[in-house]
Amino acid sequence: MGGRIPLDTFLALVLFAFTTSITPGPNNMMLFASGVNFGFRRTIPHMFGIGAGFFSLLIGVDLGLGALLHTMPWSIRC
């Protein structure tokens, strides 16, 4: 497992990460509201949490977690 990913896939991933980090999605709106209500300093952990969550999402996509769950649907049933 692991190895190098093709350049076109890597560029698509970079473009996706850049686009979603600057668009006014729900995370940016939550940060805006948190900054207004609590100030910049108290919003910093929220910023790091969103960054860590997004990074873990990208790692899951890179590792093929979606394909794994698609091939083994019984693994996500309650």
pLDDT digits (tens, 9 = 90+) for 37-78: 999 999 999 999 988 988 888 888 778 877 887 888 787 775
Does the pTM surpass 0.85? The reply is: no
Domain boundaries, the chain: 7-76
Q: Which two tokens stand for residue 4?
A: 């190098």
pLDDT at site 4: 79
Alpha-carbon span 78 to 69, nearest angstrom: 14
DSSP per-residue string spanning 16-71: HHHHHHHS--HHHHHHHHHHHHH-HHHHHHHHHHHHHHHHHHHHHHHTTHHHHHHH
